[in-house]
Amino acid sequence: MGLSEFDPAARERVSWNTGRKVGAKRALKPRQIWAIRFFLDQNGRLRDRALFDLAIDSKLRGCDLVKIKIGDIVCDRTIRTRAIVVQQKTGRPVQFELMDDARASLLRWLELRGGALEDYVFPSRTDHKNHMSTRQYARLVDEWVTGIGLPGEDYGTHSLRRTKASIIYKATGNLRAVQILLGHTKIESTVRYLGVDVEDALTLAEGTEI
């Protein structure tokens, strides 16, 4: 039987989030993006550099990012400039652009990794036929941010998903564009995700055409 919050025994139980910082994770700033890239390059972490660049440009949730296959981003032996992925959470397709840095790092990784179009871009360490786990991805993100001196509790995989969206919003104020890029069905979800003032954001969105 469960305990009431008022039961004496409940006072002895430790909450699951005791000592942990909960809530939305911070987005990375441009200088922090370059710091992580430099950290990964200096340490010869070719796979991680490709994974980091793809995470930033794709703005995908971790569960979708780790399942990307080579054929999703490669066409005629070159890295696509744009790719489309169907989101696991919503079942809706989302399109993203791959910038030069991401295309270069992905090409270097895939030349080393090899594989066929139906293979995962980032295979599991224990079973190369399977994809990297979201838990492993989360551990890597923690290594990256702490590697450049950032507090690990403030950042996570969602930080990478939020980063480019936050940069685009700050540069353009175009909330609806960010909504599309993130694949959100409701603009309110985008507002909460970006952590902007609700009334200001919705007023801006109403007057913004895409």
DSSP assignment string, 69-95: BHHHHEETTEE-SEEEEE-TTT--EEE
Q: Is the pLDDT of residue 209 over 80?
A: no
User: Residue 69 burial (CB < 10 Å; 0-12/13-18/19+)?
Assistant: middle
Whether the pTM exceeds 0.85: the reply is no
Residue 16 lies in a domain: no
Helix or strand or coil: residue 127? coil
Give the C-alpha separation, 122 to 180, whole Å.
Answer: 26
Domain count for the chain? 2
- pLDDT, tens only, 65-122: 999 999 999 998 899 999 999 888 878 888 888 999 999 999 999 999 999 999 999 9
Q: Which of 168, 32, 24, 43 is nearest to 96 (CA)?
A: 168
- pLDDT, tens only, 29-67: 999 999 999 999 999 999 999 999 999 999 898 999 999
Find the domain containing 117 and state its range.
Answer: 30-156
Are 132 and 194 in the same domain? no
Share the mean pLDDT of the chain. Answer: 82
Task: Report whether 71 contacts 117 (CB < 8 A).
Answer: yes
Residue 117 lies in a domain: yes
